[in-house]
Amino acid sequence: MKILFKIINAFLLFMSILFPNQLLAQVNSKLSIKTLEKPRIALHRGLQRSSLTESNVKIPNLKAVLLGAPIDGDNGTWTQAEIANLKKVSAALQRNGVEVYEFYTPNNNWEEIKKAANGAHFLLYRGHGVYDGSEPPKWVGGFSLKDKFVSSEEVIKDLKLAKGAIVMLYGCFTAGNAGGDIGKIGLQEAQRRVAMYAKPFMEMGVSAYYANWFGDAFEKYVSFLFEGKSTGDAYKNYTDFNEKTVKYGKHPQIGAMDMWIDHDVWDGKTAYNNTFVGNPNQSLTSLFGKNSSSNTSTNNMPDSNNNIPTNNSGNNNLPSSNNAEIVFISNKNINGTSKTYQEIWTELKGKVIYTDVWASWCAPCLEEMPYSQQMRQKFDAKDVAFVYFSVDNSESQWKKAIIQKNIKGYHVRLDPDSDAYHSFMEDFNISGIPHFILIDKKGNISDSDASRPSDESTEEAIQKLVNTKQPSKVINAINANKLSRGLKAYYYVGDDLVQEKVDAVIDFDWSEKSPLGSGQMEDYQVIWTGSIVPKYSENYTFYTNSDDGVTLSINGITLIDQWHDQPATEWSGEIRLEAGRKYEIEIYYYQAGGGAVMQLMWESPSQKKEIVPNSQLYKD
């Protein structure tokens, strides 16, 4: 039977060479491979980049493992081109004293790779991306070697890299797109794939994950690192990086790690092809400068406090503070229930309150702290309260950061598992941090999305509230939240945009009354755009009931395409969604004449069939 499986696997890999864009499921592991777009020349975008210089980092006992997999066969032009790229990286590593182990197809046996990778500080792979065979993929991750698909589970179980190791991958899904879906997926789908591909490496303690489709990228990343650049700067200094297009964020499951995704536009199509995940502030010296030869990963999650200095003693006890200006507010009521954000603010009523939503692992949050503290010193404490709402998972890391950085003010941690946390984040539509809220002396919301401490206008805004004797112009938190809910709607007559607004839900019958100010009853179109957030992690069925034409897509995937005249007719399409995650949604509708109906509904095993509610729709 084992011989039969080997024959089948060899046949499937051979077929992937002949038909690289077709789904080829491996029988015994249910994994599949995808082929990248043919390599492109990186475009110089007019941004200044440092040229490669002589190395100035000297660290002994470093080790690297390089994997070259078959792309168009062992001796195919593409395969050999990528092996040549790996050999250039190998030369760069060896020039810097790194011991290099190279496994190029057909000589890339997994058992030998595992042995060589034990304690390795660099792991580089160029080959096919691996996925489950579904469209869109439910999961991605792993390597496609000569005679074996290596799953994400095997990566975690078998590889014992050095703690803080650096990984560089070239393959479908590793940076977002696959070769066959360029221009067909949006940012959220690209982020989902990158997060999934990077997760096993992050879980084993890797400090930096690079994924890039260009041939010289790995060689330059390595050179930048040995120049002394941080892991983040090595990514930013590569030719294909563009500050204007990169999307900065955090890994959704491992909040201590940044996740940056950049893209190119090829022939008018967006290609997500350049990614960094990790702690951008590390360098080779900080990672491997001491005891590098024995610094082996224990496959534990990375320290969620990567960006915060820790006590040299290694004592995990919470440090104490004698600073009376650091005040910790309990997040619990006397009866043990979680305090709401309204209750916390009520305790400080009579003061202008500047609320900073932050976390100890958030680098942009920490960058604002010196400005916040400087501004705090300018105001009398009896007039203005600086309140820091933390969204840290770890209470110990939260308090440690406050005390080590001497962040004066009122502090409270919103437990991410509490209803109070979810209510706060939803009411203010907070999708990223830092986030700032300004409240007047009467407890009214003056600005639900206030400017940062580093912005010169912030101090002026606070001063106005200190001086005013009348209530400020109130923006109620719930109303502010409702303004962000719903979908953006664009109403067209012919090619002319005649109306633009936010529709709370898609549940319309315009058969008797036109949605247009002109009263026009036929020959118009509506486009709805925004995001949708599911409540459960499961397969959702979406329904449209329309008279006349309709198309519906989620994250660039078309679920319904019925662009023709019709009476009110229900259509459906199914897609897998994850709870709490935003997905891009786009709906096109046209009214030809007669009846005019348009409804959007959804259903899942845990969700009864209903009109998609306003609470799960976002205009951006």
> What integer pLDDT is reported at residue 614 of this predicted model?
85
Contact call for residues 86 and 142 (beta carbons, < 8 A): no
- Residue 280 DSSP SS3: coil
Q: Cβ(215)–Cβ(273) under 8 Å?
A: no
Q: What is the mean pLDDT of the chain?
A: 81
**Cis peptide leading into residue 252 (ω within 30°):** no
Span 52-62, mean pLDDT? 74
| pLDDT of residue 487 exceeding 60 | yes
Are the C-beta atoms of residues 619 and 484 closer than 8 Å to each other? yes
DSSP-derived letter for residue 252 is S
For 8-34, the pLDDT digits (tens) are: 444 433 344 333 333 333 323 357 776
Using alpha carbons only, give the angle 149, 538, 415 rounded to the nearest 5 degrees: 100
Cβ atoms of 484 and 618 within 8 Å: the answer is: yes
Residue environment code for 300-319, b if the CB has 16+ CB neighbours within 10 A, otherwise e: eebbbbbbbeeeeeeeeeee
pLDDT value at residue 290:
55
Confidence of residue 64 (pLDDT cuts 50, 70, 90): very high
What is the arithmetic mean of pLDDT over 336-345? 80
Name the token pair of 67.
Answer: 């994997």
Backbone angles phi, psi at 277, to 5 degrees: -130, 130
- The answer to whether the CB of 96 falls within 8 A of the CB of 57 is yes
Residue 394: φ, ψ to 5°: -100, 120
Q: Is the pLDDT of residue 55 over 80?
A: no
**For residue range 284-308, what is the model confidence (pLDDT) as tens digits?**
998 998 544 334 443 333 333 323 2
pLDDT, tens digit (0-9, with 9 covering 90-100), for 410-460: 999 988 878 788 888 877 877 678 899 999 888 888 888 888 998 888 999
pLDDT at residue number 448: 85
Report the candidate in 360, 330, 373, 483 with the shortest Cα–Cα distance to residue 433: 360
**pLDDT the model gives residue 272:** 95
**DSSP string computed for 99-164:** EEEEEETT---HHHHHHHHTT-SEEEEES-EEE-S-SS-S-B--EE-SS-EEPHHHHHHH--PBTT
Q: How much of the chain is helix, strand and coil, in % rounded to 5?
A: 25, 30, 45
Specify the DSSP element, H or E, that contains 11: helix 2-18
- Nearby residues of 601 by Cβ (< 8 Å), 6 or more positions away: 542, 543, 544, 545, 609, 610, 611, 612
Three-point CA angle 331, 465, 381, nearest 5°: 55
Residue 512: predicted pLDDT: 87
Tokens 């060689």, located at residue: 219
H or E element, residue 403: helix 395-405
pLDDT at residue 610 in the model: 92
Q: What is the pLDDT of residue 130?
A: 92
Answer whether 418's CB lies under 8 Å from 338's CB. yes
Judge contact between 279 and 209, C-beta under 8 A: no
- The strand pair at 129-131 and 143-144 is best described as unpaired
The model's pLDDT over 539-573, given as tens digits with 9 standing for 90+, comes to 999 999 999 999 999 988 889 999 899 999 999 99
- pLDDT confidence of residue 474: 36
Buried b (16+ CB within 10 A) or exposed e, 530-549: bbbbbbeeeebbbbbbbbbb
Q: In this structure, are residues 160 and 296 in contact, taking their beta carbons and an 8 Å threshold?
A: yes
Which of 395, 410, 326 lies closest to 359 in space, CA to CA? 395
| Residue of 296 and 71 predicted with greater confidence | 71
Q: Token pair 């084993």 is at which residue?
A: 204
Structure-token pair, residue 386: 């600086």
Would the pLDDT of 36 be above 80?
no
Q: Which residues pair with 150 in a beta bridge?
A: 143
pLDDT at 266: 86
* Domains, the chain, ordered by start: 62-294 (3.40.50), 326-473 (3.40.30.10), 485-618 (3.90.182.10)
